[in-house]
Structure 1
């Protein structure tokens, strides 16, 4: 999971993955879409290959790259579990809002009305 997280940490590699999501591309096709050097693109592709997110195959004289999203699954699962813990935060925020609303309504009714409500 750490290798995958490192691979997707860079915006250039994320952009490469997005390009490859739509279609397999050669290294040259990928490099033409960036302003950085072709050797820099090759380094990014190597890191994506080493993390398992990209596979390549030789087709004639070209190396064609394809996205393989399967290594993302453990990271996605971990992120989903982490995000799910935020659900408690949202519930507590809603409770806090309700408490403040109830207090505000009680104050706006005034002390006499509030006493009658609780003694009835």
Structure 2
């Protein structure tokens, strides 16, 4: 299970890719529109979009000569599942600590 989750984590590891995801939250954008927001080449932006697509976080659709990028919220599911494990872990640890403190205070 961890192996298939790695592309999403790889995609989220870079601040530029996280910024692109935020941009796509509001609207679908072409490669050119995304490129205008960054001080890098269009080819570099395209590589970031490819990593996001490989991670399942965006989908790309061809419209005429443009490729339109769309946020795929379901792509975050593996990340959220992984984080939920640690959320439950810390909930259990903190509940145990709270019980121990309350026991000592009695």
Using structure 1 for the length normalisation, give the TM-score. 0.73
SS at match of 1:43: helix
Report what 1:12 is aligned to: 16
Which of 10, 33, 45 does residue 49 from structure 2 map onto?
A: 45
Indicate the RMSD between aligned Cα atoms, in angstroms.
Answer: 1.8
Larger RCO of the pair (alpha carbons < 8 Å, separation 6+): 2
Equivalences, count: 102
1:70-119 CA distance string (max 9 Å, x none): 2221221121122111012222332354356x38xxxxxxxxxxxxxxxx
Q: Structure 2, unaligned stretches of length 5 or more?
A: none
Using structure 2 for the length normalisation, give the TM-score. 0.82
Which entry has the higher C-alpha Rg, 1 or 2?
1
Does 2:36 match 1:32? yes
Report what 1:112 is aligned to: none
Give 1:60 shift: 2.3
- Please list every run of at least 4 consecutive aligned residues from structure 1 whose deviation after the TM superposition is greater than 3 angstroms: 95-100
